[in-house]
């Protein structure tokens, strides 16, 4: 996720050093592990409860995104209320639109649901889902880069900013624990009866 970058560059100025700001990255790390576990678990119940499985998989991606975006959504609210002029906000809007479009396409299975058999090879929702996700990620990285340049002078003193080791460490721990969850789920598949 982008929580370390959001914590450093996207957070509203009045939230910096708040309790939520200090807990933001650790909670995002926990969300990463929970989302990986939920996504893996959804595969175990897919045959018996396909709707629950799809909902769990959608939640596994939507919840961490929504949590990570709380500071950004607050900035959107402030901009709507006070008509801000931050250059990154329109780009953040684009990335948010593509994120919601990605989720909608993943959950709805459009366009193949409307015309079964016509989108089996090209234009399948899974392909469109990935394209929208990539475009959204492009806009997100562009917006964070703009925030870095625009808000650099307002950052915390260097002593309070997380070090590279802390940033990479939090990402590494999240990845390692998530890989352990995937490994555990993969091993436990051997003990499951065939459907």
Residue 114, judged by CB atoms within 10 A of its CB (0-12, 13-18, 19+), counts as exposed
Q: Name the token pair of 86.
A: 């931050």
Picking from 96, 93, 90, 91, the residue whose alpha carbon sits closest to that of residue 62 is 96
Preceding peptide of 111 cis, ω within 30°: yes
- Encode pLDDT of 108-129 as tens digits: 999 988 988 888 888 889 999 9
How confident is the model at residue 159, as a pLDDT? Answer: 45
Q: Tell me which H or E stretch contains 100.
A: helix 88-108
Q: Annotated binding residues for Zn(2+), as ranges?
A: 126, 130
Mean pLDDT rounded to a whole number for the chain: 89
Residue 36's pLDDT band, with cuts at 50, 70 and 90, is very high
SS3 content of the chain, % helix, strand, coil (to 5): 75, 0, 25
pTM (predicted TM-score): 0.85
Distance CA 73, CA 125 (A): 27
Q: Is the pLDDT of residue 103 over 80?
A: yes
Tally the residues of the chain.
195
What's the rounded mean pLDDT across residues 60-68? 94
Q: Is the pLDDT of residue 57 over 80?
A: yes
How confident is the model at residue 145, as a pLDDT? Answer: 94
Residue 174's pLDDT band, with cuts at 50, 70 and 90, is confident
List the chain domain ranges.
Answer: 11-84+164-194, 88-161
Q: Is the pLDDT of residue 39 over 60?
A: yes
Distance CA 132, CA 136 (A): 6
Q: Is the pLDDT of residue 155 over 70?
A: no
What's the rounded mean pLDDT across residues 57-67? 94
- Encode pLDDT of 176-189 as tens digits: 999 999 999 889 87
């Amino acid at each position: 996720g982008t929580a370390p970058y959001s914590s450093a560059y996207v957070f509203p100025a009045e939230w910096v050093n708040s309790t939520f700001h200090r807990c933001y990255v650790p909670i995002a790390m926990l969300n990463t592990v929970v989302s990986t576990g939920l996504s893996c678990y959804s595969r175990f119940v897919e045959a018996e409860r396909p709707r629950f499985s799809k909902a769990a998989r959608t939640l596994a991606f939507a919840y961490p995104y929504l949590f990570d975006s709380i500071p950004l959504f607050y900035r959107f609210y402030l901009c709507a209320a006070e008509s801000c002029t931050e250059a990154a906000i329109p780009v953040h809007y684009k990335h948010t639109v593509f994120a919601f479009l990605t989720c909608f396409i993943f959950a709805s299975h459009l366009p193949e649901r409307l015309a079964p058999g016509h989108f089996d090879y090209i234009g399948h929702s899974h392909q469109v889902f990935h394209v929208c996700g990539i475009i959204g990620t492009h806009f997100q990285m562009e917006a964070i880069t703009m925030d870095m340049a625009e808000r650099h002078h307002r950052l915390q003193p260097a002593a309070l900013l997380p070090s590279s080791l802390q940033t990479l460490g939090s990402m590494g721990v999240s990845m390692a624990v998530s890989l352990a969850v995937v490994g555990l789920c993969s091993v436990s598949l051997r003990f499951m009866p065939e459907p």
